Amino acid sequence: MVEPQLATDQIQANISPGFRFPFQHFIAIKTAGVDEARRLIGELLPRITTMDQALGFHESRLERARESYNFGISSFRALESHPVWVNVAFGNELLNDLIGNAADNADRSFRLGLHRRSFTLGDHRDPSNEGHKSNWLVGGPDNAADLFLIVGSSNDATLDGGVESLVETVQHGSHEVIYEERGTRLGNDEEHFGFRDGVSQPAMRGRVSAGTHDFLAKRRVQNSPTGPEWASPGSPLVWPGEFVFGYPRQSSNHFRDPSSIADTDDILKNGSFLVFRRLKQDVPLFRKETARMASDLAAHTEFSHFDKELLRASIVGRWPDGTPVQQSPDGSPAQAVSDDRINYFGFGSDTPPIELADGRTVQGTAADPDGVVCPFHAHIRKVNPRDRSTDLGAETNTMKMRILRRGIPFGPAFDDAPDETDRGLLFLCYQTSIRDQFEQLMIRWVNSTVNPEPGNNEGHDMILGQSGASADRERFCVFKDTSGSEATIATKKDWIITTGGGYFFCPSIDALRLMAGSL
């Protein structure tokens, strides 16, 4: 099947290809009635950045980066001018007032809202705890947002000016800013625990013009005719209907074939559901507890080689620089794995060498079906079991649970000096089903001790998982060696807690025009 042409002038930019800016600012708004909200949408419309604008910008930026060898965050510093981009998303109640209940009908979890799903997601149930929904900075029972703005720029000072202008526009209409926060990419694109983040993302299928081969995700791999089709090694191509309404979805029983377009209201077309979770990270606690857990594990003779660095890499599934533990079990030599190979591995079967379109060959990776090197509870294995069958069925089903992550850290990097500064991750993800994608990942896999690879009771995702139903919130994980020996370690400490968030819908440009009364 020919891949569909994407409406690049309709899809908001942070859905795809993503802002990617090193500086981003989130603004949550409580609106002053429907009529005032319509006027505000009309004022915001000219500022909304679309997919085609972002694609042109990033293509030019990367071309300059290749010429100057300035990649990653440094590629933004070399820009001659610094744009300010804006995207907007809507909470359930305001959206219903503006366009009816089309989004409600498409997703029950969106209709309920994040705070009503909080306990189901494993968040704290003790009202005295900072992570209880009644204490959230935004998105709790009494401070849910009607509008959510994402603002980004390549320059911090330029972003300040853009945010100031937006806030003036919002407050001029008597709307209330109930929360705002700055996110900043850290060095080497790490999160606060020190691990490179955002390494593994699905590649969205689709064309950005009428050209038959003008694909959104460039094809860098000479693919075999069977199995998943890669855009780049380890980055699977997924049909766009999993992320944006109005396009073919991924088949649950075939890697390459699409399934039908979701039967939803036309007003949702070219839009996407947005999940926002403010995840506070306690870096000193993480370091202290993982050091203690490593010591507990090393007390078992078969696991005496475990130190805190190996323990942390094992519960993540990667070394701090992003190298998978399967490709460097002992962390040497200096994690010298190329970015072409960093996602090219499976758990059930060896990945063979693969040829790139430019003629280079990427080395394969040995499998780990028994979870000896990359444990079953490792974060990267919990959220993406890759080539393994799961409790949901064949491995093809996993492709339907992929999400587009767009998070960014908040707060300064931890410098080993004790402080009370808030820091963590402003987690964002886009999908067409909050219930079947984000929530299923969290509830059914991340928080489970047995899934996604059934037949094992090997513990929680120790990074992101929560044991909300347990009074003491104890989480455990099991390590195995090649002889079949096992050792279990546990913690009752939460080094990540939810302190805010929301479920939103990010509409198309035409839908925004309709809401503003200009279409």
Q: Cα–Cα distance between 518 and 504 in angstroms, integer?
A: 22
Q: What is the pLDDT of residue 226?
A: 67
User: What does the pLDDT read at residue 332?
Assistant: 63
Residue 196: which of 294, 372, 339, 21 has the closest Cα?
Answer: 339
Amino acid occupying residue 497? I
Compute the distance between CA of residue 366 and CA of residue 350 in angstroms, rounded to an integer: 5
383: helix, strand or coil:
helix
In degrees and rounded to multiples of 5, residue 46 shows phi and psi of -65, -15
Q: Would you state the pLDDT for residue 454?
A: 85
The tokens describing 94, both together, are 């305001």
d(CA 510, CA 514) in angstroms, rounded, equals: 6
The 3-class secondary structure across 52-99, one letter per residue, is HHHHHHHHHHHHHHHHHCCCCCHHHHCCCCCCEEEEEEECHHHHHHHH
When mean pLDDT is compared across 57-66, 192-201, 247-256, 369-378, the lowest value belongs to: 57-66
- C-alpha neighbours within 13 Å on the C-beta side of residue 412: 8
Conformation bin of residue 174: beta by default, left when phi > 0, alpha when psi is -120 to 50: left
Residues of the chain with pLDDT > 70, as a percent, come to: 98
Six token digits for residue 425: 């991750």
Q: What pLDDT score does 168 carry?
A: 97
Q: For the purposes of burial, counting CB atoms within 10 Å of the CB of 336, is it exposed (0-12), middle (13-18) or buried (19 or more)?
A: exposed
pLDDT of amino acid 334: 45
Distance, in Å, from the CA atom of 167 to the CA atom of 170, rounded to the nearest integer, reads: 5
Rounded CA separation 70/78 (Å): 8
- pLDDT tens readout for residues 86-108: 999 999 999 999 999 999 999 99
- 43, containing H or E segment: helix 34-44
Closest CA to 221 of 235, 232, 237, 205: 232
Query: What is d(CA 375, CA 297) in angstroms, rounded to the nearest whole number?
Result: 14
CA angle in degrees (0–180, nearest 5) for 39-12-5: 130
**What is the greatest pairwise CA distance in the chain?**
71
Is pLDDT above 50 for 213? yes
What does the alpha-carbon distance between residue 37 and residue 434 come to, in Å, rounded to a whole number? Answer: 25
The single residue listed with the structure tokens 């947005």 is 274
| pLDDT range class, residue 353, cuts 50, 70, 90 | very high
Non-local CB neighbours of 83 within 8 Å, separated by 6+ positions? 57, 153, 154
- CA 3 – CA 205 distance, rounded (Å): 7
Whether the pTM exceeds 0.85: the reply is yes
Backbone phi, then psi, for 249, in 5-degree steps?
-100, 175
Q: Distance (Å, rounded) from C-alpha 494 to C-alpha 466?
A: 8
As a residue count, the chain comes to 519
| C-alpha–C-alpha distance, residues 353 and 362, integer Å | 6
Write the pLDDT tens digit of every residue in 33-65: 999 999 999 999 999 999 999 999 999 888 887
**Pairing of β 424-431 and β 404-405:** antiparallel
Per-residue pLDDT at 335? 46
Give the span between the Cα atoms of 147 and 408, in whole angstroms.
19
Instruction: Report yes or no: 369 and 348 within 8 Å, Cβ to Cβ.
Output: yes
Helices (H), 140-235: 156-172
Checking if the pLDDT of 283 tops 70, the result is: yes
CA–CA distance, 167 with 156 (Å, rounded to integer)? 16
- What number is the average pLDDT over the span 2-8? 97
* Range from 329-338, 363-372, 426-435 carrying the lowest mean pLDDT: 329-338
Q: Is the pLDDT of residue 224 over 70?
A: no
Q: Where are the alpha helices (DSSP H) in 250-307?
A: 283-298
Query: CA torsion, points 302, 307, 312, 318, in degrees to nearest 10?
Result: -80
Residue in this structure with the two tokens 């440094």, named with its chain if needed = 74
With a cut of 70, say whether residue 162 has pLDDT above it: yes
Residue 519 confidence (pLDDT):
64
Mean pLDDT of 435-448: 98
68 pLDDT exceeds 80? no
Task: Calculate mean pLDDT across residues 419-439.
Answer: 96
- Are the C-beta atoms of residues 125 and 468 closer than 8 Å to each other? yes
